[in-house]
Amino acid sequence: MNLDVSLPARNHARRLQEAGLRPTRQRVRICEQLFNGIDRHFTAEELFNELNHSAQGESLSLATIYNTLKGFTEAGLLSTLTVDSGKLYYDTNTSHHYHVYDASGRCLADLDTTSMKVQGLPDLPEGHEIDRIDIIVRTKPKA
């Protein structure tokens, strides 16, 4: 049973190897959960809960999730984002883009960067150039 997962698993293994990471069981498992074609935002703990509440497969320790996500980020498979202090969000979308955050629902989504532009940027300090610009559009329910 479940022979149909073998091909995706092989893709994940390749993805990991191309990123310079050894395709261990845990890393492949995390890839399966994350890279299914739909971009998503999540915290380490959310991923931990998903993996451990799903019936299939063994559980991963929270420390391993943290370490693996950190490794994925350093390898360029994920990007990170801080909306408010004290919690780090991971993002499967690694291209440059902006975010919308709805504080009341604690929900985070991508904004398409291509249509957006920042005008009137002041001069930067001597000897510095722009690395990147982070934008978070914070929304609230309409009055």
Partner DNA sequence: CTGATTGCAAATGCTTTGCATACAA
Partner DNA sequence: TTGTATGCAAAGCATTTGCAATCAG
Member of 10, 14, 87, 96 binding DNA (CB under 7 A): 87
Give yes or no for residue 60 binding DNA (CB under 7 A): yes
Nearer to a copy of itself, 1 or 143 (CB): 143
Distance CA 70, CA 77 (A): 10
Tokens of 69: 């996500």
Q: Which does 143 bind (CB under 5 to 8 A by kind): a copy of itself, DNA, none?
A: a copy of itself
* Nearest one of 113, 19, 25 to 72, comparing CA atoms: 19
Q: Which does 112 bind (CB under 5 to 8 A by kind): a copy of itself, DNA, none?
A: a copy of itself
Strand order in the sheet with 79-81: 41-42, 89-91, 79-81
Q: Which does 111 bind (CB under 5 to 8 A by kind): DNA, a copy of itself, none?
A: a copy of itself
